[in-house]
A = this chain, B = another copy of it.
Amino acid sequence: MKKTVPPQTDTKRLILDSAEYLFAEKGFRGTSMREITAMAGVNLAAVNYHFGSKKKLVEDVIRRRLLPLNSVRKKRLEDVRAAAVEKGKKPEISRVLLAFIEPTLFFKESNPDAEHFITFIGRSMSDPDDTVRDVFIRYMKPLFHLLHDVTCEALPDYPRDLLFWRLHFTLGALFHTMHIYGNIKSEAREMKTLDARTLLDLILSYVTAGMKA
């Protein structure tokens, strides 16, 4: 009848974890099925059996983290909007940006096993591979629209197009930061180790000033 806890769950999770780590480290195309399965300690055919294909796998890797993260960001944005409506005032832009950025940067700490996901997602939007970029954009687009809307409510005197571009600058700064943050190698030696809170303050003051320049 109904199965309670099939061992299949372990295999799938092991594969997702390994794939997430390797995709962050070497990119989608730079990671082979054999590397993934070897690291996960499962058979080579397991990926195609459980996920169907490499493309389906990367979609699941992205979905597993991005859907919960986007739920949190969506709720935070709607809370800011609702709080403003209740007080009969427009939302404060710094709170709007905080609602979006804080869960993003702190996602790494709330999900300690997801630290590599931040690195991976940081370059997904400009990934050379269509598959990765398309999946990422597909899941981000509704949330970005919401962010755009709430931003326009916070700064009603600014043209929508202007705020659209400035949000793109903000995302560029954020993604770039996400990619180098948590990336031990590269140029981490030049920047003192920062905790997420300090980094959040840094980026928040920067993008807030930029948005209402």
Contacts and interface: CB of A to CB of B under 8 A. Distances in A.
Contacts of A174: 172
Contact of A27 (B129, B169, B206, B207): B129
A126 B122 contact: yes
A165 interface: yes
Interface stretch (A63-71, A76-84, A176-184): A176-184
A187 interface: yes
A213 interface: yes
**So how many copies of this chain end up in the complex?**
2
Interface residues of A, number: 48
Nearest to A171: B176
A-B CB proximity, top 6 nearest: A27-B128, A172-B176, A209-B213, A169-B173, A210-B210, A172-B173
Interface of A: 26-30, 122-123, 125-129, 133, 137, 161-162, 164-166, 168-177, 179-180, 186-187, 190-192, 199, 202-203, 205-213
